[in-house]
Structures are given as C-alpha cells and as structure tokens.
Amino acid sequence: MKTLIPRYAVGLILFWLLIGCRQSSWPGRQTSSRDDVAAATRTSIPELHQLASVGAQRNARKKQAGEIRVLFIGNSHSTPIPRLLTDIFKRHRPQTKTLIRNAPFSGFLVDHSQTSSTLELIRAGQWDYVVLQAQKYSTTGKYTYPIDGAMQLAKVATDSGAKILMYPEWSRAGVPDEYRRIKLIHNSIAEKTGARVAPIGEAWAAASVTDKNQLYAADGNHASPAGSYLNACVFYAMITLESPVRTPGFESTSFPEHYQRLEKAAWSAFQAESD
C-alpha cells in the first residue's frame, strides 16, 4: 500500500500535465475551407517546446547594428517565404545581415496565439518585423471568424518592439476578386493594431495579366514557386521601401526570365498602396 499511493499520485500529476500541454491544439476548433487542402503540419508538443527553447537561446544574443530580423507566423502559405526573402536581400543588400524565419508551429493565428513556442519566440527574438498570416476567413463569405488570435499576437509582438505586417492571402484560382474580401478582414486588424497590410492580392492581380497560370500550385490554392517569389518580393518592398526589381545586367540561371515581371508586379502593387 505504501508504494501504490506515490505511483498513483505521480500518474495523476502526469495526466493533468498532459491535459494542460495539449489545450492549445484541442480538437473541435473551427476550420476554414481555404486551408482544408493545406492542413497545417503539426509538430509534437515536446518538439515545439524544444524548438522554442533552442530558438530563444539563439535569438537572445545581442542584435547586431544594421541587422534585420523578420519572423513569419502562419501556416503552409508562409513556409517558402523566409528562404526566398533572404535570397532577395543577399542580391540587393549583400551588406545587410538578416535573420528571417518561420515560427516552428504551423497553423491558424488563433492557434499560434495559444501556443507557447510561438509566444516565446516572439518575445525572445528581438524581431524588427513580425508577419501575421493565416487569419481564418469564410470562403463563402457567409461566416465571420474572430480576430482575437491576431490581436493577441500583434500585442505580444508590439510589446516586444516589433512592427506588425499583415499577410493576407491571394484569391484562389477561379475566384479572382476573393482577395478584396480577404484584404478587408486584414485591414480591420490593422486599424486596431497599427499594422501595415501587404498588397499580396493586388500583386497577384497585376502579375496575373501575363503570368496567371504560373502563380498557382496544382491545387489552385497554394502558390507555385513563382507565386511564392512574388510574395517575397512584396515583403522586400514592405520592409526596405525599395524596389525588388533586378538591376540591368543581373544574370542567374536560378531566376527564370518571367521572374523579373513578378518583381515589377510586386513593386507596382507596393507603390500603388503607398500613394
């Protein structure tokens, strides 16, 4: 009997710890059909905390003068952007040191707002910009989803000294004006948080004139490599207020010819928003 009580107590403690850790990903949450095709890949809870700890240790070092740090928070639509944006910086600003990355957790903003790894990473990273993507929205326009998650993340980021950039998604294939409705949702968040909204949908609309079929992945929802590159160019313009268009004479086999049109579309959309 003396050995049964301690074992029972330990088991009970472990059970309640498990319940507490899993509350941020508890089943039954609402989902947007926009992301049904692209269900976010979830990392296990222990791995999330390990990644957050490692990220905090790496990012807690003193920020170097002139360094630009950008954190993307969202789902699979954000995944390719940090690498592409880093490459654009290397091409246009080789002297600028950058740290551009995704949060290790992938999901909607409301889920990120309840995930300790994301919150710890925001607070520890000394980020110049925090980019928020994956606000839930109704593809039919019949439903309204809360923006509480985005608001909470924006507050944590602002309190940490970062500027907020909202990352609205582009229209799905076959629904050309959808981006306007998505943009309105993000504008409402920006009005309450002081964030700036990236003209992603406008850039896609401009690029679609000549490159429509090259922007989408096969599912008509995700961006192709070209579409992701277009998005990265928009964020380069947002962060630097400079054109992402390559200078004459730049040659690289890694950049197809039509990518220069995407750069121009991104810059045109940014300038139109800034006027």
Cβ contact 66:96 at 8 Å: yes
Give the span between the Cα atoms of 150 and 36, in whole angstroms: 20
192-235 pLDDT tens trace: 999 999 999 999 999 999 988 899 999 999 999 999 999 999 99
pLDDT of residue 138: 95
Cβ contact 197:166 at 8 Å: yes
Cβ contact 96:89 at 8 Å: yes
Asked whether the predicted pLDDT for residue 12 surpasses 50, the reply is no
The pTM score is 0.79
Give the span between the Cα atoms of 62 and 51, in whole angstroms: 20
Between 25 and 8, name the one with better pLDDT: 8
pLDDT of residue 255: 67
Mean pLDDT value across residues 96-121:
97
pLDDT of residue 251: 55
Give the span between the Cα atoms of 81 and 165, in whole angstroms: 14
pLDDT of residue 250: 60
Whole-number Cα distances in Å, 88 to 137, 151, 220: 30, 30, 26
Cβ contact 108:39 at 8 Å: no
Q: Mean pLDDT score of the chain, rounded to an integer?
A: 83
Q: Are strands 98-102 and 196-197 parallel, antiparallel or unpaired?
A: unpaired
pLDDT of residue 61: 52
pLDDT of residue 40: 36
Give the span between the Cα atoms of 173 and 219, in whole angstroms: 9
Asked whether the predicted pLDDT for residue 4 surpasses 70, the reply is no
pLDDT of residue 246: 86
| The two three-digit tokens of residue 250, written as one number | 């730049």
User: What's the pLDDT band for 120 if we cut at 50, 70, 90?
Assistant: very high
| The two three-digit tokens of residue 160, written as one number | 């940490």
Name the DSSP letter for residue 24: G
SS3 30: coil
Asked whether the predicted pLDDT for residue 2 surpasses 80, the reply is no
Mean pLDDT value across residues 113-142:
96
Between 179 and 52, name the one with better pLDDT: 179
Of 75-79, 218-222, 251-255, which gets the smallest average pLDDT? Answer: 251-255
pLDDT of residue 10: 46
pLDDT of residue 213: 84
pLDDT of residue 249: 62
Between 212 and 41, name the one with better pLDDT: 212
Between 25 and 123, name the one with better pLDDT: 123
Between 269 and 33, name the one with better pLDDT: 269
| The two three-digit tokens of residue 165, written as one number | 């950039």
Asked whether the predicted pLDDT for residue 37 surpasses 50, the reply is no
Mean pLDDT value across residues 18-26:
37
Q: Answer positive or negative: Cα dihedral of 88, 225, 214, 34.
A: negative
Asked whether the predicted pLDDT for residue 49 surpasses 80, the reply is no
The closest alpha carbon to 185, from 130, 121, 108, 115, belongs to: 108
Give the span between the Cα atoms of 87 and 235, in whole angstroms: 12
> Domains of the chain, with CATH numbers?
40-274 (3.40.50.1110)
Mean pLDDT value across residues 129-151:
96
Asked whether the predicted pLDDT for residue 50 surpasses 70, the reply is no
